[in-house]
Amino acid sequence: MPAGRLSVVVTRRLPEPVETRMKELFDVELRDPDTAMSREELAEAMRRCDVLVPTITDTIDAGLISQAGERLRLIANYGAGVDHIDVATARQRGILVSNTPGAVTEDTADMTMALMLAVTRRMPEGLATMQAGTWAGWSPMAFLGGRLSGRRLGILGMGRIGQAVARRARAFGLQVHYHNRKRVRPEVEAELEATYWESLDQMIARMDIISVNCPHTPSTFHLLNARRLKLLKPTAVIVNTSRGEVIDENALARGVRAGEIAGAGLDVYEHGTEINPQLRDLPNVVLLPQMGSATLEGRIEMGEKVIINIKTFSDGHRPPDQVVPGML
């Protein structure tokens, strides 16, 4: 670890309080304008800095890590998910990786509930009518949706965000069910009044709403594939604020278009910014531009975690949020 102030490169613009604090503590290069770095720019940055602060828009794969200079010793990711970073290869090169878990748990859970309401209560259709100036007034049968209370919610992934969704769901009168890689502790189940399903297939077939809250890993890629989506009730709704790769988007679009799935609310997509065109024109599909964690408070808290990880590392200690391969 070099003596003196660490050289830090930040790949995107961050909230002003975070950037100001970084300038006080480190020799930091900030990104201006706020555009994603090219692969060449990332490679050059990794050759000249001690710490790289990337975001989800930066793919740090094995090839890029192989080009890193001898100085680079920490990749302090600005975000909880690290599937865009080859953590195993970084570890082999002696480069630590840290993230920011828990910073946007509540914000993402809020957006999950917002999407549930938007789809089941047909908010986009109402908004489009008002913006077009075609509303003719109230009618007993206009824009009829469904209430959340009494419905069965199946949470796929009962980690921090899944549990935060469950707490909110109970307040809305939803019955909470979940499938997880490991069953949560009995006291957590009791607190959330949550029913565990060992079989994902059996849970999916019986739910009114599915909320995807699991990370993207090789085992969760297309976890909701065409076969499983066929198991859904035709009145069921899917909400995804986690990772787009968990759902087979083509199969989802076909199911919604055929009336086999009642609707979907998506904040993440299988191919990043390349939104499946089959989903765009469906009135019962709500599409958001990755807004799940987009609160100023959450973004600042993420930055504070990044700073703590870097500062702890500079003091010769293991970053508190160090990511270990195979632990996610």
Verify that 97 and 135 share a domain, yes or no.
no
pLDDT of 4: 74
Residue 99, pLDDT > 90, answer yes
Verify that 208 and 276 share a domain, yes or no.
yes
Give the pLDDT band of residue 33 (cuts 50, 70, 90): confident
Verify that 37 and 150 share a domain, yes or no.
no
DSSP annotation of 325 reads: T
Over residues 174-190, mean pLDDT: 97
Rounded Cα distance between 148 and 169, Å, is 9
Nearest to 167, CA basis, from 186, 194, 187 = 194
Verify that 70 and 131 share a domain, yes or no.
no
Position 322 in a domain: no
pLDDT of 3: 57
Residue 192, pLDDT > 80, answer yes
Residue 326, pLDDT > 90, answer no
Verify that 278 and 306 share a domain, yes or no.
no
Position 136 in a domain: yes
User: CB–CB of 205/227 below 8 Å?
Assistant: no
| E-state strands within 157-271 | 175-179, 194-196, 209-212, 237-240, 263-266
Which tens digit of pLDDT belongs to each residue from 247-293? 999 999 999 999 999 999 999 999 989 999 999 989 999 999 999 99
Verify that 209 and 282 share a domain, yes or no.
yes
Into how many domains does the chain fold? Answer: 2
Verify that 148 and 275 share a domain, yes or no.
yes
Provide the domain limits for residue 259. Answer: 105-287
Verify that 217 and 308 share a domain, yes or no.
no
CATH number of the domain where residue 180 is located: 3.40.50.720
Verify that 53 and 126 share a domain, yes or no.
no
Question: Facing residues of 52 across strands?
Answer: 9, 75
Average confidence score pLDDT of the chain: 95
pLDDT of 314: 95
Position 203 in a domain: yes
Rounded Cα distance between 250 and 265, Å, is 15
Position 68 in a domain: yes
Give the pLDDT band of residue 32 (cuts 50, 70, 90): confident
